[in-house]
Amino acid sequence: MPTSFLIHLSVYLHYLQFTEEKLGQAEKTDYDAPFEMLLDRAEKTKNWTEKIMKQTETVLTPNPSELKKLPFAFF
């Protein structure tokens, strides 16, 4: 099987389990502390990456009003 298919399947199954846990239809899976820390770190990395991508897009297609909002703008 292609790797991308397996990744998508893994993500789908994770969200399915998460949804069932939130709806009370399944038991919550207990993870060990190191894995919980990795999950938290991955989520923070994802959020920062999205912020960087959004700001990079703004810089590459400049809109003067948007550029003034950036913390590293020099104008």
First-last CA distance in the chain: 51
Assign 59 to helix, strand or coil: helix
Residue 41: pLDDT band (50, 70, 90) is very high
Tens of pLDDT, residues 13-29: 887 777 776 666 656 67
> Do both 51 and 61 map to the same domain?
yes
Query: Is the pTM above the cut of 0.75?
Result: no
Residue range(s) defining the domain that contains residue 20: 1-30
Torsion of CA 15, 18, 24, 27, to 10 degrees: 120
Q: What is the pLDDT of residues 47-70, one digit of tens each?
A: 999 888 888 877 777 667 776 777
Task: Identify whether residues 17 and 45 lie together within a single domain.
Answer: no
